[in-house]
Amino acid sequence: MDFRLTEEQQLFKETVRRFVENEVKPVAAKIDETDEFPEDLWWKFADMGFFGLRYPEEYGGSNCDVLTFCIFCEEVARGSLAVAFQVTMQAFQSTDFIAKYGDEEIKEQYLVPAIKGKKRGAFSVTEPEAGSDLGNMQTTAVRDGDYFVLNGSKTWCTGAPYADFFIIGAMTDKSKRFWGIDFFLVDRDTPGFKVGRHIPKFGMRGLKEAELSLENVRIPAKRALAGTGVGGKYLQGILAEIRVVTGALALGVTEAALEEALSYAKQRVCFGRPIGRFQSIAHKLATLHTELEAAKLMVYWAAWLLDQKGRESPEAVKPAAMAKNFACELAMRAVDAAWKIHGALGFSSEMSVNRFFRDAGGLYLGGGTTEINNDIIARELGLYG
């Protein structure tokens, strides 16, 4: 078995790393301080073609595979997890459904400008009573002739404050619970649709979420992009890929935290020697670096499996959940260790490890919590009916 990246993937990784070193890292602290995503940085991502990585060349994309996209996510997260989350929302969650199910008119109207960065998208399923329990979703979509009428509310919609269009999950058949969810394309200026308050956070600053409300929102029936009755299958598939991508983001922040911790451990002198020469520090870093290599193998394998089998394959469900859990739990341990190794300096908001520590909590939520993913793994092991 060859575990090496292809020459093309390695060159791409180096390209993204240079971009992150030159464009993302220098502004990461300011983004955190101001809670604003710089407009010029957005256009730099667009100019590099990063918003179209996953999509066909005829729409302005690069048609890359899942593994290559994960490499991209990992590298951007090394510079800023908040930036990485925002970029993946544009390059993946908010545009995937359009690319997969939209007709040519819709692709030209939404996908092409989204790849160019000229239109921004958001993807929304979470509700006050339906986060982990998506089968309890209360937002509904009812057919009315050539239209659907949507009613309900959403929360924690990433990118909502500046999005031009939204992919909204809504129930078309409540009796089917999770399998009764379908997805609808809604413009920001549609009558009855409102973007509510920005939800403040202590981490992942620069990445903004908001509440949404839908009151008798009428949209053309063709904006139920996959029709109705198949959204649950789509949701299961995209959640598997979201879990793997979130695992890749976790790899990036883990690498960043351990790089800072290792550098500091070599420089900081205490009791006459660098603290990295004390076994308590050395063994902690050795263990975390070992676990990082294991996490990479898990995430890359899960991404490769999605490429080989397709994300709707039953074979992808368990590896995706495992990779997400292992990588994200590792990231939490790594950022905790990194700021502690820095001692009092780690508690300063001027230090990168402080930002890593505050940002990493978002990884726990994306793609399902550890507990939800453990339920998925247990079910795949035949422990649940």
C-alpha distances (whole Å) from 215 to each of 54, 151, 190, 232 are 34, 5, 10, 23
CATH number of 121-223: 2.40.110.10
Reported pTM:
0.96
In this structure, which CATH number among 3.90.480.10, 1.10.1380.10, 3.90.1150.150, 1.10.540.10 belongs to the domain 7-115? 1.10.540.10
| Residue 324 contacts residue 295 (beta carbons within 8 Å) | no
Q: What is the CA radius of gyration of the chain?
A: 21
104 exposed, middle or buried (CB, 10 Å; 0-12, 13-18, 19+)?
Answer: exposed
Q: Choose among 267, 378, 349: nearest CA to 35.
A: 349
Q: Choose among 156, 123, 127, 131: nearest CA to 140.
A: 127
Instruction: Supply the DSSP symbol for 130.
Output: B
DSSP characters over 274-311: EGGGSHHHHHHHHHHHHHHHHHHHHHHHHHHHHHHH-T
pLDDT of residue 1: 67
List the pLDDT tens digit at each of the 385 positions of the chain.
678 899 999 999 999 999 999 999 999 999 999 999 999 999 999 999 999 999 999 999 999 999 999 999 999 999 999 999 999 999 999 999 999 999 999 999 999 999 999 999 999 999 988 888 899 999 999 999 999 999 999 999 999 999 999 999 999 999 999 999 999 999 999 999 999 988 999 999 999 999 999 999 999 999 998 888 888 888 889 999 999 999 999 999 999 999 999 999 999 999 999 999 999 999 999 999 999 999 999 999 999 999 999 988 999 999 999 999 999 999 999 999 999 999 999 999 889 999 999 999 999 988 889 999 999 999 999 998 7
Instruction: Supply the DSSP symbol for 230.
Output: -
Token pair in block for residue 268: 């900081």
The domains of the chain are located at: 7-115, 121-223, 231-380
| Topology alike, domains 7-115 and 231-380 | no
The CATH fold of domain 231-380: Butyryl-CoA Dehydrogenase, subunit A; domain 3 (1.20.140)
pLDDT of residue 356: 96
User: What b/e sequence results for 121-139 when a residue is b if at least 16 CB atoms lie within 10 Å of its CB, and e otherwise?
Assistant: bbbbbbbeebbeebeebeb
For residue 312, which phi and psi values (nearest 5 degrees)?
-90, 5
pLDDT of residue 251: 98
